Amino acid sequence: MKIKCPHCGFEGDSSEFMYLYEATLYLVDSMVEREERVRPVLVICPKCKQGFFLENPYERFYRASGLSSSSGNK
């Protein structure tokens, strides 16, 4: 799969990019609780080192409310 960086225009195979996944652990009474939020993977460009999402992380909220992310309701 080819990925193109929206910042510098670098295009390469998906194996050339780095991926960052943020996770938060909640400790409740010495037990780790599951996080409620869904966090998208951040793709890091090997050329400019800038991060970007492959898809809009707010898209599922727009779908749930019946709005479109392209309608300018951001």
For residues 33 and 74, the model is more confident at 33
pLDDT at 74 over 50: no
Residue boundaries of the structural domains of the chain: 2-71
pLDDT at 73 over 50: no
14-59 pLDDT, tens per residue? 999 999 998 888 899 999 988 887 788 999 999 999 999 998 888 8
Cα→Cα distances 74→35, 41, 62, Å: 25, 20, 9
